[in-house]
Amino acid sequence: MTFDDDTHPSWIDRIVRFSIGKKVVVFLLVLLGIGYGIRVAPFDWRIGGPLRDPVPVDAFPDIGENQQIVFTQWIGRSPQDIEDQITYPLTVSLLGIPEVKSIRSFSMFGFSSIYIIFKDGADFYWCRSRILEKLNSLTVGILPDDVQPVLGPDATAMGQVFWYTIEGRDDNGRATGGWDLNEIRTLQDYYVRYALMGVEGVSEVASVGGFVKEYQVDIDPDRMRINGVTLEDVVAAVQAANRDVGARTIEVNRVEYLVRGIGFIKRVEDLEMTVIKRNGRVPIFIKQVANVSLGPAARQGALDKGGSDAAGGVVVVRYGSNPLEVIRAVKQKILEISPGLPKKQLADGTVSQLKIVPFYDRTELIRETLGTLKTALSNEILVTVGVVVFSLLHLGSAILISGLLPLAVLFCFIAMKGFGVDANIVALSGIAIAIGTMVDMGIILVENILRHLDENDSGQSRLETIYRATREVGGAVLTAVATTIISFLPVFAMEAAEGKLFRPLAFTKTFALLASLVTALFIIPPVMHLVLTVRVRHRRRGWLPYEAMLYAGGIIGIAVDWRVGLVIGFFGGYGLAAPWFPDRIRRWTNAARIGLCGSGVGLFLAHHWNPIGVEKGLILNTVFVFLTM
What residue spans in the chain does CATH classification 3.30.2090.10 cover?
213-296
210-267 per-position pLDDT tens digit: 888 888 899 899 898 888 888 888 888 888 887 777 777 787 887 888 887 777 788 8
Please state which CATH number belongs to domain 1-51+363-534.
Answer: 1.20.1640.10
Please state which CATH number belongs to domain 65-155.
Answer: 3.30.70.1430
What residue spans in the chain does CATH classification 1.20.1640.10 cover?
1-51+363-534
Task: Report the alpha-carbon distance of residue 142 to residue 134 in Å, rounded.
Answer: 13
CATH number belonging to the domain at 213-296, selected among 3.40.50.2000, 2.40.70.10, 3.30.2090.10, 3.30.70.1150:
3.30.2090.10
41-83 per-position pLDDT tens digit: 888 777 766 778 888 888 888 888 889 999 999 888 889 999 9
Task: Report the alpha-carbon distance of residue 179 to residue 211 in Å, rounded.
Answer: 12
DSSP 3-state assignment of 45? coil
What residue spans in the chain does CATH classification 3.30.70.1430 cover?
65-155
Q: How many residues make up the chain in this entry?
A: 629
What does residue 72 show for φ and ψ, rounded to 5 degrees?
A: -130, 130
Average pLDDT value for the chain? 81
pTM, full prediction: 0.75
DSSP 3-state assignment of 581? coil
Element (H, E) at 257: strand 255-261
- Are 416 and 55 in contact, with CB atoms under 8 Å apart? yes
Task: Report the alpha-carbon distance of residue 384 to residue 598 in Å, rounded.
Answer: 10
Looking at residue 346, its pLDDT comes to 85
Looking at residue 600, its pLDDT comes to 67
CA distances for 45 relative to 54, 322, 425, 433, 520, angstroms: 9, 14, 18, 24, 27
Looking at residue 404, its pLDDT comes to 76
Looking at residue 535, its pLDDT comes to 47
All residue ranges of the chain with pLDDT < 50 are 5, 535-542
DSSP 3-state assignment of 598? helix
Looking at residue 69, its pLDDT comes to 93
Residue 108 Ramachandran class (φ > 0 left, ψ -120 to 50 alpha, else beta): beta
Looking at residue 192, its pLDDT comes to 93
